[in-house]
Amino acid sequence: MKDALFQELAASLQEGGAILRGKKKATRSTTLQWPDAKAVRNKLGLSQTRFAALIGISPRTLQNWEQGHRRPEGTARALLRVAESHPEAVLEALHR
């Protein structure tokens, strides 16, 4: 590895450590927003059991999302975002 690149990487690691320890403020931050599973389900007018079956998860998983014990991740989060924006399209595509 070239010395300049190594020095840049080492400086970046030191800066990250200082941020984690609270000695330095991060220059930017990202906040992730999770879709509201209950609001999406209500928008579609489905019970927990039917909605869970429609998107291929267990009713208990859906309950955990709705109660805030867990958050949808990956594909499930993406599907909920689409359902939030285009509920009719999701119902049409998944109800076949």
**Given a cut of 90, is residue 26 above it in pLDDT?**
no
What's the Cα-to-Cα distance from 23 to each of 10, 17, 26, 31, 61, rounded to whole Å? 17, 9, 10, 21, 39
**In a shared domain, residues 41 and 13:** no
Percentage of residues of the chain with pLDDT beyond 90 = 64
Residue range(s) defining the domain that contains residue 42: 37-94
**In a shared domain, residues 41 and 87:** yes
pLDDT-based confidence at residue 96 (cuts at 50, 70, 90): low
Give the lowest-confidence range in 13-22, 28-37, 76-85. Answer: 28-37
What pLDDT score does 34 carry?
86
Mean per-residue pLDDT, 39-58: 94
Q: What is the CATH number of the domain that holds 88?
A: 1.10.260.40
**In a shared domain, residues 49 and 18:** no
What pLDDT score does 1 carry?
61
Which tens digits make up the pLDDT trace of 62-77?
999 999 999 999 999 9
**In a shared domain, residues 15 and 48:** no
What's the Cα-to-Cα distance from 38 to each of 16, 44, 96, rounded to whole Å? 37, 10, 23
pLDDT-based confidence at residue 31 (cuts at 50, 70, 90): confident
For the chain, what is the domain count? 2
